[in-house]
Amino acid sequence: MKAKIQVVLCKCCTEIPSVLRLESLSKLASESNNVMSVMTVDAICDGKQLAPVMNDVKQKELDRAVVLACHKKDVSPTLLRAYRRAGVNEFMVELVNIREEVVLPHANEPERAQAKAEAKLRAALARSLMLQPLERQTEEMKTRNVVIIGAGVAGQAAAKEAAKAGAHTVVLEKSGKTLKVPGVVMQHSTLVGAEGYGGNLKLKIRAGEKVESLDAAALVIATGGGWTQLKGSLAKAVKDAVPLYKLNEQVQVDAPIKGPVVVVDSPDPSGKTMAVQDFAWDETLETVVELKKKHPETEIWVVFQEMRAFGLSELVYKEAADAGIKFIRYDKGGVPKADPKNPGVLSVRDFSQGEQLNIRFGTLAFASIPANPDNRLIAEVLRIPMAADGGIRRGSIQRWPVSTPRPGVFVCGSALFPKSREAAEAEGEAAGAMASAFVKRGTIEFGGVVAEVEQEKCSACLTCVRTCPYEAPFIGAAGKAEIRIQACQGCGMCVGICPSKAIELRNYTDDQIMIETRTLLGGDF
Partner 1 sequence: MAERRPKIIGFCCERHGMDSAVLAARTGKQFDASVRLVQVPCAGRVDGIHILQALEDGADAVFVLGCLEKNCYYDTGSIEARKRVEYVRQMLAEMGIEKERVEMFNAASTNAWAFPEIVAKMVEVAKKLGPIEEGERR
Partner 2 sequence: MIVAKRKPLGEIVEMLAPYQKITVIGCRSCVAICLAGGEKEVKMLVSALKIKNRKEGRKQQIDGFVVERQCEKEWVKEVEERILDSDVTLSMACSLGAQTIGDMYPKHLTFPGLNTGMFGVPEEQGVWSEKCIGCGNCIIHTTGGICPIARCAKSMLNGPCGGSANGKCEVNLEVDCAWVAIYDRLKLQNRLDLIENFTPAKDWSTSHSGGRRIYVREDAKLSQHQKKGKEAVQ
Positions touching partner 2 (CB under 8 A) are: 457, 459-461, 463, 466-467, 498-502
Picked from partner 1, partner 2, none, the partner binding residue 113 (CB below 5 to 8 A depending on kind) is partner 1
> Does 77 sit near partner 1 (CB under 8 A)?
no
- In contact, 181 and 147? CB cutoff 8 Å: no
Please identify, using beta-carbon distances, which residue of 24 and 467 lies nearer to partner 2.
Answer: 467
- Three-state secondary-structure class, residue 481: strand
**CA-based nearest residue to 418, from 280, 514, 212:** 280
- Min separation Cβ 455 and partner 1, Å: 20
- Cβ neighbours for 98, distance < 8 A, ≥ 6 positions apart: 10, 16, 20, 68, 69, 70, 117, 120
- Three-state secondary-structure class, residue 215: strand
- Min separation Cβ 401 and partner 2, Å: 29
- Min separation Cβ 496 and partner 1, Å: 4
> Does 461 sit near partner 1 (CB under 8 A)?
no
**Hey, which residues between 402 and 441 contact partner 1 (CB under 8 A)?**
405
> Does 168 sit near partner 1 (CB under 8 A)?
no
Residue 343: Cβ-neighbour burial (10 angstroms; 0-12, 13-18, 19+): middle
Neighbours of 108 (CB within 10 A): 8
Pairing, β 136-140 against β 443-447: antiparallel
Please identify, using beta-carbon distances, which residue of 350 and 389 lies nearer to partner 1.
Answer: 389
Please identify, using beta-carbon distances, which residue of 461 and 491 lies nearer to partner 2.
Answer: 461
Choose, by CB under 8 A, the member of 255, 459, 467, 478 that binds partner 1. 467
Picked from partner 1, partner 2, none, the partner binding residue 100 (CB below 5 to 8 A depending on kind) is partner 1
Q: Name the residue type at position 95.
A: L
Distance CA 196, CA 470 (A): 11
Choose, by CB under 8 A, the member of 28, 104, 184, 309 that binds partner 1. 104
> Does 113 sit near partner 1 (CB under 8 A)?
yes
Please identify, using beta-carbon distances, which residue of 103 and 230 lies nearer to partner 1.
Answer: 103
- Min separation Cβ 194 and partner 2, Å: 22
- Min separation Cβ 69 and partner 1, Å: 12
Taking each helix axis from N to C end, the angle separating 313-322 and 279-294, rounded to the nearest 10 degrees, works out to 40
Picked from partner 2, partner 1, none, the partner binding residue 333 (CB below 5 to 8 A depending on kind) is none
> Does 399 sit near partner 1 (CB under 8 A)?
yes
Please identify, using beta-carbon distances, which residue of 479 and 499 lies nearer to partner 2.
Answer: 499
What x/- string results for residues 490 through 509 when contact with partner 1 is judged by CB under 8 A? xxxx-xxx-------x--x-
Choose, by CB under 8 A, the member of 116, 122, 160, 168 that binds partner 1. 116
- Min separation Cβ 397 and partner 1, Å: 6
CA angle 278, 282, 287 (to 5 degrees): 135
- In contact, 199 and 408? CB cutoff 8 Å: yes
Q: Among the residues of 130-262, which ranges form H helices?
A: 153-164, 232-237, 244-252
> Does 510 sit near partner 1 (CB under 8 A)?
yes
**CA-based nearest residue to 418, from 283, 225, 170:** 225
Per-residue burial over 132-158, b if 16 or more Cβ lie within 10 Å, else e, is: eeeeeeeeebebbbbbbbbbbbbbbbb
Picked from partner 2, partner 1, none, the partner binding residue 249 (CB below 5 to 8 A depending on kind) is none
Distance CA 37, CA 50 (A): 15
Choose, by CB under 8 A, the member of 61, 100, 140, 331 that binds partner 1. 100
- Min separation Cβ 459 and partner 2, Å: 4
Picked from partner 2, partner 1, none, the partner binding residue 457 (CB below 5 to 8 A depending on kind) is partner 2
Taking CB atoms within 8 Å and a gap of at least 24, the contacts of 284-290 are 284/244, 284/367, 285/309, 285/313, 285/316, 285/317, 285/320, 286/248, 286/316, 287/244, 287/247, 287/248, 287/251, 287/263, 288/261, 288/263, 288/320, 288/325, 289/316, 289/319, 289/320, 289/323, 289/325, 290/251
Please identify, using beta-carbon distances, which residue of 140 and 510 lies nearer to partner 2.
Answer: 510
Q: Which chain residues interact with partner 1 by CB under 8 A? A: 71-72, 97, 99-102, 104-109, 112-113, 116, 119, 385, 395-399, 405, 449, 467, 469, 489-493, 495-497, 505, 508, 510, 513-514, 516-518, 520-521, 523-525
